[in-house]
Every structure is written in structure tokens, then in C-alpha cells.
Structure 1
Amino acid sequence: MKLSVLLVSLAAVFLVLLFMQFTQVKNTEIEEKQFKNFSSQDDFREYASKSGHYLAYIPFSLVGDTPIFAVLPSIAPAPSATGSEEKSLDIGRFSQTNVQVQGIDEPDIVKTDGKNIYISRTGIYTYGIKIPPYPYLRKTTVVKAFPPEELKKIGELNASGGILIHGDKILILGGNVIRAFSIGDLRERYRIELNGTVVTARLYDGRVFLILSQRSEICPIIPMNVNGMGYIVDCSRIYHPIKPVPIEVIYTVVKLDPVSGRVEDSISFVGNYASVVYMSRNAIYVAYPLPVDYVGIMLNFSSENRDLFPSWFIQRLQKLQNYELSEKAKHAEILALFERLTLGMSTEERILFQNEFRNRLERYFEMHARDIERTAIWKISLEMKIVANGEFPGRLLNQFSMDEYGGYLRVATTVGSTNAVYVLDSRLKIVGSLEGFGKMERIYAVRFIAERGYVVTFRETDPFFVIDLSNPESPRMSGELKIPGFSSYLHPLGEKLILGIGKEGSSVKLSLFDVSDPKNPVEVDRYILNEFWSEVISNHRAFLVDEKHGVFFIPASHGYIFSYRDGLKLIKVTETGFRAVYIEDYFYVIGSRIVVFDEKSWEKVAELEL
């Protein structure tokens, strides 16, 4: 085996496992204040040069002499919403987008205001055009939806993306532009051009909260231009952790008046692409995995395994730990140390070392997972102030992994080869924990509802855990159920039922759990769809429930409407369907056409080609 390949192989085992952990922490004690603002451009540049950047790819070789490349995975966030919130205006009830927190709207590609339906679409337009390149179509179709007998298209907007509606304004959030239109005449009222992308957005209490990200090697930054005017963020308004972290992007949280487009306030901070965002009625939480202290972990590991490493190797790591080098430079030094270490080994010695190294390192991670694998979290008030910061072990799945209730933040994490739930107080200090469940599995779904948490882990079976959070300082396991397959999205249906949407084998699976007895959760019904995938598995906004009529909608290659009051019953299927809404007692399935059903009889009453 060539030395270069062996080096890649050895270093890769170390680096891949470290990157899988995504973290670093030597001390479990959290400093009272871990963030500060930059004082100047020079301060920004100095911090960036010391912190370095994450590597986008890690070279490693597991078999033979062929190096391969592994892309780093993304970590890809009061009772949660029990369904699609409905509003009561003059025209009566109508559905809202299925969101995590009731009353806090999230952008989606289909919205209704009870009168119209707004459908945002993108795609390649090829009809009638024989020679490429084909134009890329971006539009939002406006359909008069109520009453159903007047169903018709009434206009189009030359924009597409996530939609938010406030009053008489419709906001469309594209990749790098936000456009606002008047609902009455469909004219554009203002435009916000972004020097980056929209990570996510929320609409709450008459204000839009935008979370933006952009790459920048200098400050001040200009995250956006409103009607051609640049919004400048000075260096002193950009925050960073005191402990250096690799700067991949600068995040800016913006509080926006949706009527005028005026920026009321903002706050910016550095971070990486793996952030998870959750918003409650009181605060915005931004969490991200902490970087790895490669030298520190390798030094601790080699010190615990002195029979594997010569003294000069450990001494060199000790010196390297004190050098003021970027993470990239430290990576290079570690690779050089491995090259020197293996240079004089015979083939047999290299093979022995490689196997021992890998197995011992895996055991080391298992023993030290809670110290190695950690996530940092920022708490930002709705007045755009950083009010607290903290850390907790493990990594988050998505926004549903966080939930604020009764002044506490509950988080569900995967820590090494096990899982945990931590309870943090208002200062983001850990006050309670439940650790070590779902061994050799990782979290696939989470839902916190009042004083309970529901967690699904998966490897071969689907453990469904019910967690008692009534005592924030002492969370405990109430019950557990093991069934085939897994759920990726959990949705409460009333107080006693939880719907799980996921997969079993190669098919989409719906599970209905009775959680009236938290000590004994029961799968009371299940339904296997002849579908490989549903968007709900990865996007909760695609789901819709109408509690008045006891039905819900699931999109796949077809549109499916189920009733759930007496078990799971499929009552309607449409040829296409990626979203659904309801207005009064009419259920609208949106696909290549809109199909309208009367919910009292489930007869089709209208149809419109899009």
C-alpha cells in the first residue's frame, strides 16, 4: 500500500469520525457570556483568520487504494400546533399552513386568505419550444376559490417562492429576492434584494422575522437592499462566540414591517451552514454544532493509548495545541504527524496500527460523546437582542427538536450512538436531562406537546418513546413502543392520538398512536400507501388536517384524504396533489388542477386546470 494512500486512510478514519461528531468541548461548564461584538474590521479579519473554515469534503479510503470523498451531512427546530390553524374573517373559517407553533406562520408555496388561493410554482417551460435552452418559469397563480362555483384564475404574479400573507399584502420569498404585492390589484409594492439567501422566515404579531445568511470576508455587511437602498450592518453590530468557530456565513435576523417593507431592527452573528432555527412566541433560537478541537481530542486520545503512539508524537501534539494556527493549518499538521508516524512501519505494522487505531477511536468517542459532540445555541428576543446563550450535548434533527414551554426550552438530540432530551432554563443552562435511550439508533422524529415529548428513533425497528416533562428538572421515560418502520413526522390529532408519517420498507406508512395512557402507547391503526415517498416526511408544511371534519391530507404522486376518527380510512384520492386547503366546508386539493370536494358529502363540486 502506498504511503500517501495509507496516510489518507489513517487520517480519514480520525477525521471522518470527528466530523461525524461535528463538535468539540473540553469543559462541560458554560461560561456566563460566550458572545461579543466585533470592534472593527481588523477585529473581524483577525477572528476569521484564527477560526478558519470547515472543509467541505473529507478524503478517506476504506477499501483498497481508491480514495473516495464523503460530503459532510447537514444537521440540517406552549403546545405545538395541533393542526392547520383556522382564521375567522367575514367569509368564515379557512385553513392556515401547518406550522410548528400555533399563531406563528411559516412560508409555503400554497396559501389561502379564505377568498383566493395563491399557488407558487417553478419549473422548466418547454411546450412549443423545440430548441434549448428552455426558459425557467417562475410564477404565482392567483385563483378565486370561494364560493366553489366561481372557481377561476384571476391573475398571475411574476415571482415564486415561499408565500406569507398579511392584511392586503402577499410576500413571496424567492432565493435572493423578496417581493411584496397588493392583493387587490396584484401590483408590486416593494422589493428586497438579498446579498445571500433566506434561511427561513416567520410571521408573528404583524411582523415578519427573516433569517438571512451571506458569505462575507469583510465588514460592514449589506445583507439586503430595500427598493434599491442598502441596509448596512456595521462591524459592531455583528456578534461572535468568544471561543473561535469557523466562519462559513454571517446570519442576520431582520424584523420587518410587511406593509411597508421597512426594516425595524436586526442583529447579526457568525456561524456555519448547519444551523437549526426555532421560533416561539417569546424568542428566536438559533443552534449550530460546535467545531472540533482536532488537536485537543487527538492529544487526549493518544495520551490514553500510549502503547499505540510514541512519546514524540504526543509531545508534538502538546506543542501544536498552543500554536495560534487556523483549523486548516492544524489539519495539515495532524496529517504530517501521521505521515511521519507511519513512515518507518512495515506493511504488517501499518495494518495492525490502522485496525487498532480505528477500533480504539470508536470506543473513545462512545465514552466521551457528551463532551465531544455538542451544540451551541443563541436566544434572541423579538426586540432583536441576544439575551442568552448556552451549550448542550449532541446534535439536533430539525426545528421540532426544540420547543419552549413554561419558561423552559426542551431539546432532543442524538449523542453518539444514543439519544437524549435536555431541559434548559431561561438562561439556557441545563437543569434537567434524560439520557441514553434508543441505543445504537438516531432520532428520526420529535414532537413536544405541553408536558410530554414524543420521540421516534430508528435503526431496524421504530421505537416510539413517550417522555414525561412535567418536572423540568427530572424528565423521565413514561412508555415505549416498538413497531416496524419509522416515522419522520409526528402530528397530534386531539389530546389522545398522535399520527406518525414515515416509511416501512420502500412504502409510505401512516401510524395512529393512542397515547391516552403514556405508560402504554399503542399503535391502534396503520396504513401502508403504495407510494415510495411523501413530501410530509421531510416538510411538515405539506400536511393539512381539518379537525372539524376529522380528516387530513397527505401528498405523494397522488393526493390522499384520510379520515381518522374511527381508525385510518382512505376516503378520497386525486390524480395529482401536492397541497390542500379548506374554506368553510369545502376541501381543495391542489396539483396540476384544483379539485374541490364538499366535506359534508365528499362529492366533487368543482375542478380547475392550472
Structure 2
Amino acid sequence: MFKRNYKKAMDRFTPSEAVDNKIEKMIEEEGSERSFFKPLKNRNRGTHGVRRFNPALTLGLVLIIFVSLWPLISKGNFQQDFNGTSQNASDIEPINNKDIALGVSYSDIYEIFNDNFLEKRKGAGDYAGKNDDFAKAPLEESMQDNASEKNVGSAAEDKASDSSVDYSGTNIQEEDVDEADIVKTDGRYIYMAVNNKIEVSETDKGELAHLATIDFSEKGLNIREIYLQEDILAIIASKYQGIYHRNNESDSMLKDMIYPMNEDTLVYYFDVTEPSKPKDLGSTEQSGFYLSSRIVDGNLYLVTNKNYYSEIKKDDPRTYIPSYKEGNKERIIKEKDLAIAPGELESSYIVICAYNLESQKCTSSKAILGGGRTVYASKDNIYIAMTKWKEEKDNSVVTRGEETVIIGVSLNNGTLGEPITGTVPGYEIDQFAMDEHKGYLRIVTTENTETYEEVIYKDGSTARIWKGEGKVSNGIYVLDKNLKVVGGLSGLAPEEYVYSVRFFGDIAYFVTFRQVDPLFTVDLSNPERPTLIGSLKIPGFSDYLQGYGEGLLFGFGQSATEEGRVTGLKLSMFDTSNPGDVKEANVKELKGRWSEASSNHKAILANPTKNLIAFAAENHYFIYGYQKDKGFYEKAALSLKDYDYNTRGIYIGDYFYVCTSRGITSYDMNKDFSKTDSIEFSYQ
């Protein structure tokens, strides 16, 4: 039944406008209440058979392959260096050659959910509560009354404000592709998301004045991040819905536990032409928990991941199809905008909606059944990567590893293109593992394979007996505009893991670590033949890499002994004037061991023009400079009352501002960062 329905879903889809109209009418007449049923358990993974090892057959195949490849080897087209193998498209075995299914009908989606997911929800517990019992946040309610080298992407770029004062922006990955954060400034006003409020403050040469508060604390929301685009402030928030009780649990304490069942993402828009009186422009809402977002050319692209735990009804696609709202008007994603990603089926969607900031309207939407984890965007495309397990079984022995499915959607002034997909071995570490250049997508992954034997005992119980520690290696792959792999370099740094990646045009740098920190340099000028041109091994590792002016690469990470024991934070500066012979020009070891900047690039400010490297660590906010003749040197170590995970540093003109959940403090950069002023926020 499933195979027939899945083939039907993957090979033939005809959208029905009649169904779209019916659902629109149903929403208008019945509202948007949804009931909650049974939770989804992890389903069993599928397996694929592999051939048994045959020595004679293997030897014969090796001889055949060697003879076939001799012309390439003799011409130098097949390379192996630094424990890596350069490959082109013909060398790389396709992992999944199925295409994405587009224009999926509601009935096909229903059959997939009904055949594959619902049976696995039985016995999970009884539910109590409606979607408005967990958190009430009516969209129609106005909140106005509550208003009281590639050094871009590397860090804050200098921007010109109305007063021609330069100031820092959010640390972004790509030029002209803005990313949300908890602090934004236009060079005069600072907007902060703190304690489920937006605090608006004015700056004037270090002097500070608090102007207004936009209070969300009684709305049952969780403020995630904000954007500031000219006079529009966009606030991204999460709303939780639904509760249930696990009545089938034997432990009486578990019976009364309340679980969040659903999460939707909202965007509130405010006109801040007059910052002391923010004007509520309305809101939009989108199915799913917040994954990431970008703003390109005045359009907000919001990416969410929608899971379905509730009871589904065939004649009500709202129970299994994502939707979005403009005010109180709910619109379900149309059939022509639905898709199914290739590979093993998932019960979650990636939902992408484009919103025009001036009109606060959704201009385009897509929903792809398959889920996702990591978001990267250029000016022209947005990519969502998801990691899936693949398994191969030989009798009772199972070998499994990870693969990354990439979904690509083009961006065209608020219009989303048809999704396309590609697949590469391994998993990516974060958004910096992906980069688009000259029409090609490049991605760095870590491939981890492990083997176990399935054992079935006489009493029917089962167990897994793991065989060895598994195999780990790393690779870099190049995909064309259709997300087909055209080249790659695999087998790098066996038994080590990727910790950071950065691309600069035709050059890629990435760090792996187990005991020492190899910094690899890959030449990508020929997309079909990536070439490893350098490998520098030093103790420790870098969690984050960024260009720091001509011929320099800054690394923020951890120092370590030669045995791999981490000893504390460190700053590294690499000389990349010769990419084939990278050297560590300077290193600075710090006493602290933890900083948000290790896992969040938005928490670090590194600007070579201002010669600022700034970040919070433990109970201080550190500001360093770098000079070729003296290396790293400390400019300031500003004390924080308590370490605040949500700490940001920005500069406006000659003044530096440290923003925490407690308030803002300003410092004069021309007077050795002496304190100028401060304001505190209310916790009430």
C-alpha cells in the first residue's frame, strides 16, 4: 500500500484549485482551532542490502577498475594527497538519485501520513487542552499601548548613518544578506530583545537615554530575534500551543507532566520612525518552530520546521498541511507549493515564507515534507540542510552512516522558486560549512560510519553489539545549480571532526580536531577537481574563522595539549598570503574556558578597519586588537556583574556599547575604554 502511494506521490501530482478554494472557505467558516491527538514516536529505519565480501571477485574488480582508470592516472587527473582523494562527478557514487516531488496533492500527503506515521502514535498517552490553553497570543490585539577579504559576513561592517557616523552591524555571513540577532542599531538608536521585551534606547556620543519598551511578557510568547530595516522593526517570536498528559505512565509524577505540543513562529512589525513611540503595524504567523531567517532586498525569508503530533482528518488538510496568517486570516499552503524531499519519509516540514517588510504581506510560500536543520543563504538562493541516517544490512550486520540532503530554493524579490535537492555524504557542522560562488554550492562535511550486529535472544528481546569505534573522515563537495555533485575531495583527516569552515572565493579553509588542529586549505578554482593545497597542524582548534584584512585569517577557539586536552580559550591569527603555505602568525591563550562566541558567530565582533576583536567570556567582555609586529594585545577587559549569555558589543562612532539583559554601558574608545554612561532595564 505504502509503496504504491509513495510512488504515486513522487511521480505524479496534479494540484487542485478546487481543493484550495474549499479549504479557504472552511477556514473562514470554522476558524483555525486544531485538536491534538497522539505523539509521534521514532519510526524504524529502513535498510538496504549489500553484497557479501568475495576476495576473488573483489580482486577482479580492482584489476578492471585499475585498467579503466589508467588513462586518467597517467594524465594526472586522479590525485591523492594529504590523506584525501580528489573526485569528480563520475567518481562519486550517487547516494540518492530520486528527485524532489513537486506540486503534491493534499490527498497524497494524507495517505503518506496515514500509512506511515499514525500507527506509531498509538498508546502514547491521552491529551488535554486546546491550542489556546497553553499560550494565548491573539494576533489581532494591538501592542501599541505597551510601547513605553570577505570581511563582510566576517563581522560587523561599517555603515553610514544619517549623521555619517560609522557603526557596527550584526556579524553576517554574506554581504547584503542580513541575519537576525538580539541587538540592532541604526547608528543612533539601539534596539534590544531582552526578557521578552524590546528595549529602545538613544545614544549621543556615549550618552544614553531609555526611550520605550515594547512588552511581550504577558502574551505567552518567547522573543527570539529582531531585524531593523530603515524604519521597520521586525520582531520574531515563538508561540507554544497545546498540552497533554501521559496517563499511560506508571510513575504517578509523570502522569501530570505537561508537554508543549506545537510551536508556531510569529513576526510583529513596528514603525519606528519615531523610536520613542513605536507604532504597531500588525503581525504574521507561520506554522512550525523557528529555524532561521534572512532579509534580502527588503524581503524577510522565514524558515520554520513544522512537526505534526495531532490527529489528522482527511477532509481538513489544516491538520496535516502547514499554513501562515496575516493578522487573523489563515491561509493553508497550496498544493502547487508543496513538495516531498527524496529519501526516507519524515513527518515534519520545512516551511519557507517570504514577507514584504513594507506591506507586511506574505508574497510567496513553500512547504517541503522532510524537515531540516541548517540554513544558509546567498543573495540568490536559500539552502536548508538536513542530516539523515542511511543503513546497509548484510544478514545481521548493519553498517550505518549519515548523509546530508540539501534543499535549495531561489530568491527573486520576494518570490520563491521551485525547490531542488542534492545529497552528499556526511553531515555539516553549521551554516558556514556551505557557500555559494559562481553558481556552485560548496559544502564541507564529516562522514561517520559505524557497524553493529543485531542479536535476537530466545526470549525475543534484541540487542546491538557494536563492532569497533567506527570510521570518521571529512570531505568537501561541489554541487552545480541543479544541486548535482560535480566534484569532491574525500577521506581527509581520518578520525577527526570538522570544527569550523570559511570560504573566500576559490579558497576554502576548514579546521578538524581530535588531538591537534589541522587547518586545511582547498583550491576550488576547478569545481570538478578540488585540490588540497595545504595542511597546518597546531595544538587546539578554532570554532570560528573570519577574514581579518588582506592575507590574514582570524580564528576563535580553544587551546589544547598535544594529547587533545582542552585548556582554555584562544585567539589565532593565520597568515594566508600564500594559501598553499598557511602559517600561524600569532596566538593568544586566555584563562576563560567558555564563551557564547564559540557557538554563535553573532556574539563576536571582529572588524579589521577599527582593529577590534570583541567578545564576552565568563564574567568579562574582552576587547583585543592585532598588529603584525606585536600580535594580539588587550585593549580592555570590561567587568560584567554576572555572565550573561545574551551579551553583545557594538560601536557607534568613537564609543563602544556593551549590551546585556541588565542594561547598556558605554565606553570611550579614545580614552582607553573609560566608562561614559549606563542605563539599567527593569525586570518587571
Partners of 2:496 and 2:513 within 8 A in 1: yes
Q: Tell me how far apart the structure 1 counterparts of residues 609 and 654 of structure 2 sit (CA, whole Å).
A: 9
Alignment of 1:371-410 (within 5 A): 373-382=402-411, 383-386=415-418, 388-410=420-442
Q: Tell me how far apart the structure 1 counterparts of residues 351 and 292 of structure 2 sit (CA, whole Å).
A: 11
Aligned partner of 1:164 among 214, 227, 231: 227
Alignment of 1:588-599 (within 5 A): 588-591=657-660, 592-599=662-669
Change (3 A) 1:51 1:378: farther
Secondary structure in 2 matching 1:400:
helix
* Superposed CA offset, 1:192-225 (max 9, x none): 2444322111111011110122223563435332
Q: Tell me how far apart the structure 1 counterparts of residues 622 and 338 of structure 2 sit (CA, whole Å).
A: 47
Following superposition, the deviation at residue 460 of structure 1 comes to 1.2
Aligned partner of 2:504 among 425, 431, 449: 449
Following superposition, the deviation at residue 98 of structure 1 comes to 0.1
Q: Tell me how far apart the structure 1 counterparts of residues 119 and 523 of structure 2 sit (CA, whole Å).
A: 38
Partners of 2:179 and 2:293 within 8 A in 1: yes
Q: Which moved more, 1:411-420 or 1:223-232?
A: 223-232
Amino acid at match of 2:289: T
Partner of 1:510: 571
Partners of 1:285 and 1:378 within 8 A in 2: yes
Change (3 A) 1:230 1:421: same
Alignment of 1:127-166 (within 5 A): 138-149=196-207, 151-159=208-216, 160-166=223-229
Aligned partner of 2:521 among 466, 474, 493: 466
Amino acid at match of 1:253: I
Do structure 1's residue 48 and structure 2's residue 89 form an aligned pair?
Answer: no
Change (3 A) 1:430 1:153: same
Partner of 1:343: none
Change (3 A) 1:253 1:287: same
Q: Tell me how far apart the structure 2 counterparts of residues 387 and 593 of structure 1 sit (CA, whole Å).
A: 43
Amino acid at match of 1:116: Y
Partner of 1:572: 636
Secondary structure in 1 matching 2:238:
coil
Q: Tell me how far apart the structure 1 counterparts of residues 544 and 192 of structure 2 sit (CA, whole Å).
A: 24
Amino acid at match of 2:205: P
Amino acid at match of 2:652: I
* Superposed CA offset, 1:525-548 (max 9, x none): 112222121111111011112332
Partner of 1:562: 624
Q: Tell me how far apart the structure 1 counterparts of residues 331 and 490 of structure 2 sit (CA, whole Å).
A: 45
Partner of 1:65: none
Q: Tell me how far apart the structure 2 counterparts of residues 524 and 553 of structure 1 sit (CA, whole Å).
A: 19
Partner of 1:279: 377
Q: Which moved more, 1:408-417 or 1:592-601?
A: 592-601
Partner of 1:323: none
Following superposition, the deviation at residue 181 of structure 1 comes to 1.6
Q: Tell me how far apart the structure 1 counterparts of residues 211 and 182 of structure 2 sit (CA, whole Å).
A: 18
Partner of 1:96: 169
Task: Choose between structure 1 and 2: higher helix proportion.
Answer: 1
Secondary structure in 2 matching 1:379:
strand
Partner of 1:189: 281
Change (3 A) 1:80 1:166: closer
Partner of 2:237: 174
Alignment of 1:289-308 (within 5 A): 289-292=387-390, 294=391, 297-298=392-393, 301-302=394-395
Do structure 1's residue 424 and structure 2's residue 493 form an aligned pair?
Answer: no
Partners of 1:378 and 1:386 within 8 A in 2: no
Following superposition, the deviation at residue 25 of structure 1 comes to 11
Aligned partner of 2:356 among 254, 257, 261: 257
Following superposition, the deviation at residue 275 of structure 1 comes to 2.1
- Matched-pair identity in %: 30
Q: CA RMSD in A?
A: 2.7
Partner of 2:155: 83
Amino acid at match of 1:390: G
Secondary structure in 2 matching 1:495:
coil
Instruction: State the number of aligned residues.
Output: 483
Q: Tell me how far apart the structure 2 counterparts of residues 79 and 23 of structure 1 sit (CA, whole Å).
A: 45
Partner of 2:6: none
Following superposition, the deviation at residue 455 of structure 1 comes to 0.6
Amino acid at match of 1:142: V
Gaps of 5+ in 1: 1-15, 57-77, 123-137, 303-308, 310-356, 366-371
Following superposition, the deviation at residue 605 of structure 1 comes to 5.1
TM-score under structure 2 length normalisation? 0.66
Following superposition, the deviation at residue 114 of structure 1 comes to 0.8
Following superposition, the deviation at residue 385 of structure 1 comes to 1.6
Partners of 1:34 and 1:243 within 8 A in 2: no
Secondary structure in 2 matching 1:45:
helix
Q: Tell me how far apart the structure 1 counterparts of residues 283 and 604 of structure 2 sit (CA, whole Å).
A: 30
TM-score under structure 1 length normalisation? 0.74
Partner of 1:526: 587
Change (3 A) 1:487 1:51: farther
Aligned partner of 1:206 among 295, 298, 301: 298
Following superposition, the deviation at residue 476 of structure 1 comes to 1.0
Partners of 1:88 and 1:94 within 8 A in 2: yes
Q: Tell me how far apart the structure 2 counterparts of residues 451 and 53 of structure 1 sit (CA, whole Å).
A: 48
Change (3 A) 1:565 1:187: same
Q: Tell me how far apart the structure 1 counterparts of residues 406 and 657 of structure 2 sit (CA, whole Å).
A: 40
Partner of 1:552: 613
Q: Tell me how far apart the structure 2 counterparts of residues 593 and 569 of structure 1 sit (CA, whole Å).
A: 27
Following superposition, the deviation at residue 189 of structure 1 comes to 1.6
Amino acid at match of 1:385: G
Partners of 2:586 and 2:632 within 8 A in 1: yes
Partners of 1:79 and 1:101 within 8 A in 2: no
Partners of 1:36 and 1:239 within 8 A in 2: yes
